[in-house]
Amino acid sequence: MSVANATSRPGAPRNDMKLELQNLSVTYASRNGDVRAVRDCSFVVSRGDVVGLVGESGSGKTSALMAIPRLLPRGTIVTGRVVCDGQDIASLREELLNAWRWRRIALVPQGASASFTPHISIGGHITEVLAFHMNLTGADAKTRAVELLRTVGLEETFFGRYPHELSGGQKQRAALATALACGPDFLLADEPTTALDVVTQKEVLDMIVSLVRSRGMGLLLVTHDLPLAAGLCDKLVVMREGAVVESGASREVVENPQSPFTRNLIDALRRMESADALTGEGS
């Protein structure tokens, strides 16, 4: 993306804006000793890019993602840099980092639909974010919240509904509406559709990607599903045992994987596909 697309207004979104993880490591202190969940990871998400972070369960995807807005449990040791728009946000004081959370970098966490507070309505969740981060309250906040709900395919009546009155797919959409509330430059989405049936999964994922693309945002999409990520994402980052073992354009990674791990994974998927073709499944 060319720098000529950039605007000169400070704080305005620019198309060349990048979110960079530089030599990021995450170590949890646990009763059974330290767990090195992320080891020296580096990769870049540019505004306008859809990047898939893939890897098997326990490979460190959530740990890497949650280190970006620094939302890991207290006591976790994080080293390396998280650079957004040229600023190392990993070293910012908490109150300064708050200006980046939601407004610049928003999150749909793993199991987002379970993270709604049961006694707060969907509209209440969205307007809380608007009040805290955008200073938007009252009728203006409600209008904006309803607009956001419509953007994710939920009609106005969802504003007053409570989390238990929504289906899993509707909750994921509401979580997405909340994440989009402050018009962020980057969206971090951790397995946003895992708990949903295959059809709803596809609907919600397609919607996330098309919203992100139409707004020129950068998306970091965590999933353990490599074929799904390859079909949706411009770039892939493959993690194994906390380390990045492969990254590049999705097509290149799938057609010409460099690491033995990715090669084995893709070979195994191809074997499954041909077995499905033989048995007539998976079509």
Ligand X SMILES: Nc1ncnc2c1ncn2[C@@H]1O[C@H](COP(=O)(O)OP(=O)(O)OP(=O)(O)O)[C@@H](O)[C@H]1O
Residues making contact with Mg ion (CB under 5 A):
62, 110
Of these partners, ligand X, Mg ion, none, which one is at the site of residue 123 (CB under 5 to 8 Å by kind)?
Answer: none
Identify whether the C-beta of residue 191 lies closer than 8 Å to the C-beta of residue 223: yes
Which of 157, 204, 198, 202 lies closest to 176 in space, CA to CA?
Answer: 204
Rule CB under 6 A: say whether 32 interacts with ligand X: no
Category of 75 on φ-ψ map: left (φ > 0), alpha (ψ -120 to 50) or beta: left
Site mask for ligand X (CB under 6 A), range 88-117, x = bound? ----------------------x-------
Q: What are phi and psi of 43, to 5 degrees?
A: -165, 170
Radius of gyration of the chain (CA): 19
> Whole-angstrom Cα distance, residue 62 to residue 191?
9
Q: Which is nearer to Mg ion, 110 or 170 (CB)?
A: 110
| Span between the terminal Cα atoms of the chain, in Å | 37
Pick the piece of the chain touching ligand X (CB under 6 A) from 57-65, 87-95, 130-138, 266-274: 57-65
> Whole-angstrom Cα distance, residue 111 to residue 113?
6
Count of H-run helices and E-run strands, the chain: 9, 10
Residues in 216-255 that interact with ligand X by CB under 6 A: 224
CB of 224 to ligand X, least distance (A): 5
CB of 14 to Mg ion, least distance (A): 30
CB of 28 to ligand X, least distance (A): 3
Q: Report the residue from 6, 13, 28, 258 that binds ligand X according to the rule CB under 6 A.
A: 28
Q: Which is nearer to Mg ion, 130 or 188 (CB)?
A: 188
Of these partners, Mg ion, ligand X, none, which one is at the site of residue 223 (CB under 5 to 8 Å by kind)?
Answer: none
Rule CB under 6 A: say whether 37 interacts with ligand X: yes
Which of 22, 36, 37 lies closest to 82 in space, CA to CA?
Answer: 22
Of these partners, Mg ion, ligand X, none, which one is at the site of residue 13 (CB under 5 to 8 Å by kind)?
Answer: none
Binding site for ligand X (CB under 6 A): 28, 30, 35, 37, 55, 57-63, 73, 110, 224
